[in-house]
Amino acid sequence: MTDTNAVRTAVIAGPDSDGLGDALAERGLSVVRIEGLADRPALERAGIVDAELFVLTDVGQATAIPIARDLTDVEGVGENSALRVVVYASASLPAFAAGQADLLVDPALLDPEVVAEELAG
C-alpha cells in the first residue's frame, strides 16, 4: 500500500531557468537540485535512490540518466518503476539516453506549470 502522506521527491540536474523546480515544489514535491556535474556521487547525495522523479535540463549531462537508472535498479524487479526520468530541454537528447527517458519535453512547447501539474498529478 502506498503512503499518500509521504512527501514525493524530485531531483533536478542542470539549470532551471524556466522554474520547473519551483512549479513542482508548489505542487507539494520536495525538490533537490544538483549543482554542477550530475555524476554518481552527486546523484547519491541528492537522494536519487528514494526519488520518484529525475528531471534533467542539460542534455550535456545525459550520462546521468543511465547512472540514475542503475542506482535505482531494484534487485529482482528491474528498474525502479517509481522513478520517472524527464528531460526538460530544447536540445536533443543523445540517442544512448533517449530510450531511458520516460518523457522528453521542449520548454518552448509546454510551460513549467503545465509540466509540473502533469508530473505531480
Domain residues for the domain of 30 are: 9-120
Per the structure, the count of domains in the chain is: 1
Does residue 1 lie within any of the structural domains?
no
| Long-range contacts formed by 96-100: CB under 8 A, 24+ apart | 96/62, 96/66, 97/62, 97/63, 97/65, 97/66, 100/65, 100/66, 100/69
Does residue 20 lie within any of the structural domains?
yes
Q: Classify 36 in phi/psi space as left (phi over 0), alpha (psi -120 to 50) or beta.
A: left
Does residue 4 lie within any of the structural domains?
no
Contact 25, 120 (CB under 8 A): no
Does residue 3 lie within any of the structural domains?
no
Does residue 71 lie within any of the structural domains?
yes
Does residue 85 lie within any of the structural domains?
yes
Residue 36: all three cell numbers together: 554542477
Does residue 36 lie within any of the structural domains?
yes
Contact 88, 53 (CB under 8 A): no
The tens place of each residue's pLDDT in the chain, 121 residues long, gives 344 556 699 999 999 999 999 999 999 999 999 999 999 999 999 999 999 999 999 999 999 999 999 998 865 444 445 799 999 999 999 999 999 999 999 999 999 999 999 999 8
pLDDT of residue 5: 54
CA torsion angle for 69, 97, 43, 102 (degrees, to 10)?
-60
CATH number at residue 24: 3.40.50.2300
Q: For the full predicted model, state whether its pTM sits above 0.85.
A: yes
Residue 32: all three cell numbers together: 533537490
pLDDT of residue 7: 66
Does residue 2 lie within any of the structural domains?
no
Counting every residue, how long is the chain?
121
